[in-house]
Amino acid sequence: MPLFPNERSVRTTPEGLLWEPSERWVRGRKGDVTVVDSRHPVLVWEPDLPVPCYTFPRNDVRTDLLRPAKDPPTGKHTGSQIFYDLDVGAEPVENAAWTFPAADLAGHISFEWFRRWGTGLDHWYEEEEEIFIHPRDPHKRVDAMPSSRHVQVEIGGTVVADTHRPVLLFETGLPTRYYLPREDVRLELFEPTDHRTGCPYKGRAQYWTWRGEGEVPRNILWSYAEPLPAVSPVKGLVAFYNEAVDIILDGESLPRPVTPFTASLKP
């Protein structure tokens, strides 16, 4: 049965899960096979994870493609789950789906997103728009605002950017990101890499790495050539990880924030 609480609000389970029904039409595919097709998805937030996942009524899932997992993981998701392998071709996808133990979510199945964990389904759609990495959080805002503030960026004491024409990107739960015109960035000090990422709020990003000396993480600089419409002001601009460079805003040095990205930013 789809979950329809009387009031549209986030609810909590004894296991510490937060959940909320969504009105979006969600589909998930593995290759050309549609595995999930649901008009009654439920968003679930696990403890200590900053982004939600979807869980779906069993009737909206191709359960004929699921098999009990041969080697289920431990501690990957909240509670004592039942895991399933997905059989859509010559090679099954291990632990592609699972169930939460919460009574509120009984009769529902969750799926991994390929670009998030490297397994699971590889194409997801909300209505007719493909969504990457993870579902969008309806309680999160992402605002891109042109500004005239003075932004300088330094790496190891070298000024690598200086502008009065930034676009400030405010994203719930993350530090402000400063997107800068390329003409105001010393791009000759960086070299492009093959690294690419996707974001459900902003689109697909390309990256550059610092050419100079010092212990600077790779892929420190990025840009969205074709951002999603909601953040179109950042198109073609470049941004640095605040966590690993020195940013001076209107003459004031900003502290380096600690974020979920900090641990992965290693030289």
Indicate whether 106 and 167 sit together in one domain: no
Distance CA 29, CA 89 (A): 13
Indicate whether 119 and 203 sit together in one domain: no
What the block records as the tokens of 123 is 């194409």
Indicate whether 161 and 185 sit together in one domain: yes
Q: Would 136 be classed as within a structural domain?
A: no
Q: Would 253 be classed as within a structural domain?
A: yes
| Residue keyed to tokens 């790495």 | 209
Residue ranges making up the domain that contains 69: 11-131
Contact call for residues 131 and 200 (beta carbons, < 8 A): yes
Indicate whether 28 and 57 sit together in one domain: yes
Indicate whether 82 and 113 sit together in one domain: yes
Count the neighbouring beta carbons within 10 Å of the beta carbon of residue 219: 21
Q: Would 125 be classed as within a structural domain?
A: yes
Instruction: Identify the H or E element spanning 114.
Output: helix 114-117
Q: Which of 102, 131, 160 is the last residue of a domain?
A: 131
> Which phi and psi angles does 136 have, rounded to 5°?
-75, 140
Distance CA 81, CA 100 (A): 5
Indicate whether 154 and 111 sit together in one domain: no
**What is the per-residue pLDDT for 117?**
54
Q: Which of 106, 131, 156 is the last residue of a domain?
A: 131
Indicate whether 170 and 206 sit together in one domain: yes
Residue 260's nearest CA partner among 175, 133, 139 is 175
Indicate whether 167 and 259 sit together in one domain: yes
Indicate whether 146 and 126 sit together in one domain: no
Q: Would 2 be classed as within a structural domain?
A: no
3-state secondary structure of 169: strand
Q: Would 163 be classed as within a structural domain?
A: yes
Distance CA 249, CA 22 (A): 39
Indicate whether 253 and 147 sit together in one domain: yes
**What is the per-residue pLDDT for 5?**
45
Domain count, the chain: 2
For the chain of 267 residues, list the mean pLDDT of each consecutive stretch of 10.
Answer: 54 92 95 96 89 95 96 83 88 91 94 71 92 89 97 96 98 94 98 92 95 92 95 98 96 93 82
Q: Which of 98, 131, 164 is the last residue of a domain?
A: 131
Q: Would 3 be classed as within a structural domain?
A: no
**What is the per-residue pLDDT for 77?**
86
Contact call for residues 214 and 125 (beta carbons, < 8 A): no
Please list, in sequence order, all residues whose beta carbon lies within 8 angstroms of the beta carbon of residue 54, skipping any fewer than 6 positions away.
22, 26, 38, 41, 42, 43, 44, 110, 111, 135
**What is the per-residue pLDDT for 157?**
94
Q: Would 84 be classed as within a structural domain?
A: yes
Indicate whether 64 and 108 sit together in one domain: yes
